Amino acid sequence: MDVKLTFEHENRDTQTALLRVHGDVTIHTSPRLREELKPLFSASIKEVRVVLNDVDFMDSSGIATLVEGLQWSRLTGGRFILSGLSENVRDVFELAKLDTVFDIEDSAA
């Protein structure tokens, strides 16, 4: 199965990391998302933003990966922000009541 998932990293300053995700986040691609996220959580990074504008589909393994990111942020005392959720992805978060757990913004500030 050829599922494409790409990433763009941007450090806005020494304390903020931004990760733009492009493609569907599924059981096949969520390990790659985890590999991209994990290094962003350190004592020096106070805010990790994940931009999901270009993600049209996310399954439960993708959600689990983002929950893991939220846990990492809490361990390091930082913020973990999701932005630009498509309607499909936002619906999944709302159905699972995760929209009350995550810090979700309409678009990357």
CA-derived radius of gyration, the chain: 13
Tell me if residue 32 falls in helix, strand or coil. helix
Q: What is the pLDDT of residues 9-68, one digit of tens each?
A: 877 677 899 999 999 999 999 999 999 999 999 878 899 999 999 999 999 999 999 999
pLDDT at position 1 is 44
Domains defined for the chain, CATH in brackets: 21-105 (3.30.750.24)
pTM here is: 0.89
